[in-house]
């Protein structure tokens, strides 16, 4: 038995991303995502039979490539949220915070 991959046509991707990202995040419009896809910036998009698609399981990767913050429930397993840069130690050898 072969597994089928759930593909989402690129025009429908912004609507799907809204459900994955934190409240207050602005999902880019279709045209912006399309331009970045055509420029090769979003390698998770696939061109099949004259249309661009993204596999549903690749949506979290796409959201991160677009600079969006995922909801906790949408993060892939093993992904740990990093502290914002201003809260990270400024030196490898000190414990002081910036």
Taking the CA atoms of 10, 7, 67 and 91 in sequence, report the sign of the dihedral they define. negative
CA distance 7 to 49: 13
Nearest to 19 by CA among 61, 54, 67, 70: 70
pLDDT tens by residue, the chain, 98 residues: 566 679 999 999 999 999 999 999 999 999 999 999 999 999 999 999 999 999 999 999 999 999 999 988 765 655 555 545 454 455 555 555 54
Distance CA 93, CA 91 (A): 5
User: What residues contact 47, with CB distance under 8 A and at least 6 apart?
Assistant: 53
| Residue-range domain boundaries for the chain | 7-76
């Amino acid at each position: 038995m072969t597994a089928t991959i759930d593909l989402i046509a690129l025009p429908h991707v912004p609507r799907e991303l809204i459900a994955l990202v934190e409240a207050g995040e602005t999902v880019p419009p279709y045209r912006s995502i399309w331009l970045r896809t055509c420029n090769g910036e979003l390698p998770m998009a696939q061109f099949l039979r004259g249309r661009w698609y993204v596999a549903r399981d690749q949506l979290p990767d796409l959201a991160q490539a677009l600079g969006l913050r995922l909801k906790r429930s949408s993060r892939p397993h093993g992904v740990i949220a990093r502290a914002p840069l201003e809260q990270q130690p400024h030196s490898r050898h000190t414990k002081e915070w910036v």
